Amino acid sequence: MQDILRNNGIEAVNPGGFSGEWIASGDKLDSVSPIDGKTIASVTQITTDEYDRITARAQEAFLNWQNVPAPARGETVRRLGNALREQKENLGALVTLEMGKIRAEGEGEVQEMVDICDFAVGLSRQLYGLTIQSERPDHRMMEQWQPLGVVGVISAFNFPVAVWAWNSALAAVCGDAVLWKPSSQTPLTAIACTKIAERVCRETGVDPAIFSLTIGRGSTVGEKLLHDKRIPLVSATGSCRMGYRVGEVVGKRLGRTILELGGNNAIIVSSEADIGMALRAILFGAVGTAGQRCTSTRRIIVHESVRDDLVGRLLAAYEQVAIGNPLESGTLMGPLINTDAVDTMMAAIESIKATGGEILCGGEKLSGDRYRGGCYVTPCIASARNDSQIVQDETFAPILYIIPYKTLDEAVELHNGVPQGLSSAIFTKNVLEAERFLSPRGSDCGIANVNIGTSGAEIGGAFGGEKETGGGRESGSDSWKAYMRRQTNTINWSTELPLAQGIKFGD
């Protein structure tokens, strides 16, 4: 553990505020590993006064950064991506230590950061506006995009570094500064990332306050961020409950939001599916990250003719899942994030039983020397009704519901019959079924896949969902527009002053 901390510049006690300098004088926050329940290191949280100082410095940095040509801003982001490449193994290990996902997923998350930096560098030369034909003679119209300001980023524990990068890389090339409030469950990874960004900025002569950090209580620092009119855009990832609060507060001051909230993702397995391929996708989607992805597979809507075959294969596969220390090779599923998450999963198991569902396998706490102090459970497969409340609610844990169907229309209705709308998939070799699923009468999610699972989004496509998932989008072809303000310009190069719509005003 000490090697992991040293390689990421983490001390025994670390200041939790940064905006060109590291500051913090508030309460101490211990980062506890879900692997063994032991404290990794501590963070001194910022006070509300320090929040104001940090935000003021971020605003100052923005006012200068917005004047830097976008391709030059892209060069800083390119160097950030290279620095993350160099730290991929070290930072990935810290993600595993603090969050609990297996090493391959921890390093994969850092690779997402690298990829989004590469993507943002290309966009830095493509922040296009349009020219528009004016109805007035000797006039030219155009639209252009201007930097927006300081962007607030609120990230969740399950992707403790990638969410920051998805937002900050794009915001940076757009000319914005970023104010990051990470999850209190994973503050050390945020400090490590900010230190990397600080070093890159100093090497390139850029004010490092464009990548500012605020680690503090949600009830104080978080609320100040939401109410802060100096922050025109808040990008928040978390639960639907959190999203309602963010949307309400930021919307009340007419600020903008990018909301990435809950998912209740389903895979439809057709009678014409490749069952082996579907099995592999379901296993990763349901068990990967211990079911703690917003894109985790929660529901399997399977044709009744292949239900028994699929369930039999799933039960056999679940028996082979190696559960344990995610830092060790061969582990496929690590712990849940904390004991509260374990308790929530156990309560969900009881609710399944109480509402007529059946536990087909798993759903137990793990104990013994191998799991001592950690938050380990066995992944669960259950048979349940789609309309039961426990299925309608997202439980952030490895619980997979099996729901049979007879017709594709019924399957789509079941699929769409939940409040969330993030990711979805169908497995079928029938092109008519695939096209139906992708049609306006098909999936109502922001992501709809054919013959791949619900997890594993690529940075080239827009990421986000509908309904209670919040409607926000990150990455994708025009994602940069969310981080900029749109401006229409009309230039009159004549000596006359004609009005639009042919209006005559006076002589």
Task: Indicate which residues carry an active-site annotation.
Answer: 260, 294
Token pair of 167 as six digits: 């937002």
Provide φ and ψ at 49, rounded to 5°: -65, -40
d(CA 399, CA 381): 6
- Asked if 425 and 456 count as a contact pair (C-beta separation under 8 A), the reply is no
Token pair of 498 as six digits: 């004609």
Q: What is the dihedral of CA 259, 265, 270, 276, to 10 degrees?
A: 110
Provide φ and ψ at 491, rounded to 5°: -115, 120
Q: Which residue's structure tokens are 């926000």?
A: 472
User: Which helix or strand (DSSP H or E) is residue 405 part of?
Assistant: strand 399-405
* Residue 106 identity: G
| Nearest Cα residue to 141 out of 488, 493, 484, 498 | 488
| C-alpha 503 chain-centroid distance | 50
Q: Which residues pair with 51 in a beta bridge?
A: none
d(CA 286, CA 453): 10
Q: Which residue's structure tokens are 């789509």?
A: 412
d(CA 37, CA 121): 40
